[in-house]
Amino acid sequence: MPKRAGRTRIPWTASVLAALAALLAVLAAPPGAASAAPAVRGESRPVYSYERAIRETVWVDTGIEHSAPEGEDRAVRVAVDIVRPREAAESGRRVPVIMDASPYYSCCGRGNESQKKTYDEHGRPVQFPLFYDNYFVPRGYAVALVDLAGTNRSDGCVDVGGRFDIRSAKAVVDWLGGRARGYSSRTGPQTATADWTTGAVGMIGKSWDGTIANGVAATGVEGLRTIVPIGAISSWYDYYFAQGAALYDGGPDSLARYVQSPEAQTNCQDVQAELADGAPRDGNWTDLWQERDYVRAAGRVRASVFAVHGMQDLNVRTQHLGQWWDALARNGVERKIWLTTAGHVDPFDVRREAWVSTLHHWFDHYLLGYDNGIERAPMADIERAPDQWSTDPLWPPRSTAATALHPAPGSGDGPGRLGTRPAPAGSSDSFTDDPATGESDWAASADRRTPAKAAFTTVPLARDLRLSGSSRVRLTVTPSTTSAHLTAVLVDLGPAVIRDYGAKGEGITTLTERTCWGSSTPGDSACYRRTVADTARVDRTVFSRGWADLGHWAGLDEQQPLVPGRPYTLTLGLAATDHVVPAGHRLALIVAGTDAGLLEPADTTPRLTVDLSRTTAELPLVGGPAAFARATAGGRPAAPDGGGRTVRTPTALVHLP
């Protein structure tokens, strides 16, 4: 029977209980947070006007002095563009701050649509890139976008993860907490205070921005309650090198020139020289890399961490996530994780509605103090296939255990075997480094012996086999020349539909229609182009990889020339992942030399002989050795599949914002 039109009446008791619940949520919040907008059912609501919001710029003193070419020392101030609720300021309510510190606001833009900051004729900020301001300011937050030192309207120099970078953002957190000085202009004496904030700060950002969040958290700065690093670096050495092997052309000095302001280009020749001299392309560990290694300082992190990463990110590889995550776990940091199957892509463009909702609840809890249960929700959300997600209460799962698998010789022209039984003494396999081939070529020929790689596969699996975390491969190899690079990859041999991470969008397609997330003004729209998964049908998937320079077998302090004919042992770390090899598929380990498009070649082109009896792969298997035994029980060797498609990696990589 149809319902009558008209107003639905809510029982008096229900309305009273709802109001009481909202009041209790406010009263339960920590000091300062209770002044923010009240929650309804533990969630902040858009009760403030975005159109009337206060928009201003403050220049914060970083505590660094830098000498210009003329010789005078000048205090370095960084520009902070702020948007915050006017009604909260007028009523004396103090609000927390969501902060994104970035070098990209004028050179390159942020997000899938490369949004840049814009200003009116008086220099007041108009457009704040990304949706954070549109969505969160009406809900009782301020949003602060920081120009890192040497970029856009900030003083100082770009030093790519060093003291200028980190103190740019840390000083702003200190200013918001009343511990640093801010000014109403770039050079003037008039001070600006942050008496409108609770001092609770959450940092967020993708790529370099998320890296800054990691670095600032590693200082232990007071007031930083949470960080949300997306595709972020945890150690800058590992961005440019993989165990001594060079990964990208150029170095941090060229990246600094890419983002710096015209003033910095003129005034920062000394910093440019320090970056060039401190980062030689030989892969040696230097003091410059020591300063930019945030993993070693993970014990200082007080903030909670919500980490997001694309498992096929070949720009900021998941090694950064894995080592950071493990260090945080060892130090008992509260944390949450999302893993997507895309490349270097923001979750806003992978799983938009769920992302905005989850981020909303995360900030409500850690910045406003609302008891909404987000910290008790499953720790991990993992994309298994395009738009198909699973959750885990703990990541990696508690039953995960490092499981030793051994490569062994095969028969005829087929691949070697991969199993739990070590190879007989004296067993070996050889390949010749071919810098023109890479992981997609090797995976495509996994079932055939080819000159450029050695491949080892399991039998077809009787059950699904899940790898969760970081792997490592201990190799003993004998080179024929004085230098050599090594690559190891894990491959799922079997058909699948995946996000096409090797395509231009790295797993997404951007459409023309838009969806809106918050309030808009004529100069700052809350509406963004919708995205969908860009998929590919493949016959095999490379899902983890690692690289190394054999000349650094003894450590990263110094590259050593190799003695041809002498065996060397090296443990090669593979990037973190969470991948299920389905029943009927096979797991493959491939060992090769230069990974084309990802690794710079060595000085020579060696032939490498792998001692299989002294080679072991330690894989993080959920269920450990017993799970592998069950998955491979009764299996028979597979017939070669004769080819098929593998997603090809880009032929060259550059840093992507």
539: three-class secondary structure by DSSP: strand
- Strand-pairing partners, residue 573, are 472
β 304-310/335-340 pair status: parallel
SS3 222: coil
Residue 525 and residue 517: Cα distance in Å, rounded?
Answer: 9
Reference 438, options 482, 491, 474; nearest CA is: 491
Nearest to 47 by CA among 55, 38, 56: 38
3-class SS of residue 630 = helix
Exposed/middle/buried for residue 166 (C-beta within 10 Å: 0-12, 13-18, 19+): buried
Residue 92 DSSP label: T
Choose among 68, 82, 62, 57: nearest CA to 153: 57
Catalytic positions, written as ranges: 207, 313, 344
Question: Which residue from 59, 64, 61, 71 is spatially nearest to 267, judged by alpha carbons?
Answer: 71
Tokens standing for residue 344:
């270097």
Beta strands per DSSP E along 85-169: 95-102, 118-119, 125-127, 142-147
Distance CA 240, CA 250 (A): 9
Locate 231 and state its tokens: 């595709």
C-alpha 174/C-alpha 170 separation (Å) is 6
User: 388-426 burial, b for 16+ CB within 10 Å, e for fewer?
Assistant: eeeebeebbbeebbebebbbbebeeebbbbbbeebbeee
Contact 587, 418 (CB under 8 A): yes
Neighbours of 19 (CB within 10 A): 12
Structure tokens at 620: 């993080």
Tokens representing residue 257 in the block = 């020139």
The two structure tokens encoding residue 13? 């008791």
DSSP 367-420: HH----SGGGS-SEEEEEETTEEEEESSSS-TTEEEEEEEEE--STTS-EEEES
C-alpha radius of gyration, the chain, whole number:
26
